[in-house]
Structure 1
């Protein structure tokens, strides 16, 4: 399991909008003295907001499981659509890319 919290996790936990989650993350970084590129750990987040770590971990696990389910579903759909398109699409009907008649500056 990952050790870093994301804006999406904060959004789900607090029920805030995504932009507010990013603002919360930047405020945590500012108060903890972290630079913009440094991630916030789950431990940092829990200590800062004084929330239970198990609740955050549960949300993260559910969020990751949901992402995996969506990804596997998309892969299955892509495989199905690719085979259907390949069967229907003729080779001689390919569109040529557009070319300008005069040079553009």
Structure 2
């Protein structure tokens, strides 16, 4: 099984129970906090560090 490295707004929506729009907004804030450019993606581990969730638990939800 392949594991994805990056996380997308739809993943954030599923994990948080909120909308994809919220997911886009949250990923934008994470990119800003990490000084990433607009075209750069957020990794699952960066997302988990920011939001305070266990990475393995998040990966299970993403499957």
Q: How big is each residue's C-alpha offset from its partner over 1:8-36, in whole Å with a ceiling of 9 and x where there is no partner?
A: 11000000111111000100000110001
Larger Rg: 1
| Alpha-carbon displacement from aligned partner over 1:21-68 (angstroms, at most 9, x marks no partner) | 10001000001100010000011011111111111101111xxxxxxx
| Alignment RMSD | 0.7
* Structure 1, unpaired ranges of 5+: 62-105
CA distance in 2, matches of 1:24, 1:31: 11
* Residue 54, structure 1, aligned to residue 56, structure 2: yes
Give the 4+ runs in structure 1 shifted more than 4 A: none
TM-score, normalization: structure 1? 0.56
Q: Say how many residue pairs are matched.
A: 61
